[in-house]
Amino acid sequence: MKILVLNGPNLNLLGLREPELYGSRTYPDLVEFCRGAASAAGAEAEVRQTNHEGVLVDWIQQARGVFDAIVLNAAAYTHTSVAILDAIKAVRIPVAEVHLTEPKEREPFRRVSYVGMAAEAVFSGRGFDSYADAIRHFAAKGA
Ligand code: CA2
């Protein structure tokens, strides 16, 4: 099973800023972590990051016929992007929403999730382990 792991804006700064919130491990650490979690679950993960909303839309569209599932941390676009919601609905690949933190326990503007309106599952508040939970979710059910 091939899983596409997509990361949105500023997640390239992991470990370099706000470690009290997002931890001290870096984005390259996250890439390795996801690859390892997928491998342990008998799957394969391709991990990408972009700061651009349209690039996330392109990657979601292009996943059709290539990947079995998408693990998506759209970061701030989670709370704003109808374009990403529409892309998820259009592509018809199962999507899991993930977050390092628990957005619902933060500022009120993080309580809305457009991604969550189309995602089949949400894993949040467990740091890198949120990604492992999502990867195992798809591996266990065969996407
Ligand atoms: O908890 C998460 O994973 C979030 O998706 C992170 C987003 C935030 O907008 C969401 O509400 C919840 C922010 C990502 C910013 O990443 C940084 C990493 C290190 C330093 C600064 C920002």
Active-site annotation holds for 99: yes
Q: SS3 for 50-94, per residue?
A: CCCHHHHHHHHHHCCCCCCEEEEECHHHHHCCHHHHHHHHHHCCC
> Quick count: other Cβ atoms within 10 Å of Cβ 17?
9
Q: What is the mean pLDDT of residues 57-69?
A: 98
The pLDDT tens digits of the residues spanning 82-111 come to 999 999 999 999 999 999 999 999 999 999
Check residue 80 and give its pLDDT: 98
Whole-number Å distance between alpha carbons of 77 and 40: 30
Told to judge if 137 belongs to the known catalytic residues of this protein, a careful annotator would answer: no
Ligand 1 centroid – CA 46 distance (Å) = 20
Mutate to test the pocket of ligand 1, among 7, 21, 49, 100 (most ligand atoms within 8 A of CB): 100
* Identified catalytic residue from 77, 99, 114, 137: 99
For 16-55, write each residue's pLDDT tens digit.
Answer: 999 999 999 999 999 999 999 999 999 999 999 999 999 9
Whether CATH 3.40.50.9100 fits 1-33+45-70+86-98+119-143? yes
Contact 12, 27 (CB under 8 A): yes
Q: Are 78 and 54 in contact (CB under 8 A)?
A: no
